[in-house]
């Protein structure tokens, strides 16, 4: 069992509310999304594990059970070419839950015309594999978003 925590402070909104059909349709996997507070912050690792994919706008941490958790910072933010994002770790690094991974500014993302909403997805999972899924309410960085059974 893996407890997946929020990599950001904000408001849980659920994947269905994400303004992108790939995420809202759970095509990459089930999970939830965070509408982040609009201030410069650091996105943190949602689980203990290894950074297997790292881009300015997104990262994947795989835990010891093999579960991969994607944190995607904003929608269509790949188009910003890393502008406004600062990587704080390297691909292949072992990270602990709550460790800072990327520094970014959701307000700057929004000002650039992109949605700052952040999907947090259980890769290659089924919806039935997730429990205690948070899809509404305020969350702090470190609060539980879901449990991967």
Residues 56-65: contacts with CB within 8 Å, 24+ apart?
Answer: 56/80, 56/81, 56/82, 56/85, 56/86, 56/87, 56/102, 56/104, 57/82, 57/85, 59/101, 59/102, 60/123, 61/95, 61/101, 63/2, 65/2
Of 55, 57, 67, 72, catalytic: 72
d(CA 63, CA 82): 26
**Closest to 12 measured CA to CA, from 148, 133, 100:** 133
Our answer to whether residue 72 is catalytic in this structure is yes
Which of the residues are catalytic? 72
């Amino acid at each position: 069992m893996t407890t997946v925590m929020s990599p950001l402070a904000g408001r849980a909104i659920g994947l269905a509310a994400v303004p992108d059909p790939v995420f809202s349709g759970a095509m990459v996997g089930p999970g939830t999304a965070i509408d982040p507070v609009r201030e410069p912050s650091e996105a943190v690792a949602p689980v203990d594990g290894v950074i297997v994919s790292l881009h300015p706008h997104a990262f994947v941490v795989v835990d010891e059970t093999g579960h991969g958790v994607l944190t995607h910072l904003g929608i269509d933010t790949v188009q910003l070419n890393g502008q406004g994002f600062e990587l704080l770790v390297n691909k292949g690094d072992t990270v602990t839950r709550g460790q800072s991974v990327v520094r970014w500014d959701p307000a700057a993302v929004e000002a650039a015309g992109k949605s700052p909403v952040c999907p947090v997805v259980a890769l290659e999972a089924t919806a039935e594999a997730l429990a205690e899924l948070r899809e509404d309410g305020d969350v702090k960085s470190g609060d539980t978003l879901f449990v991967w059974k």
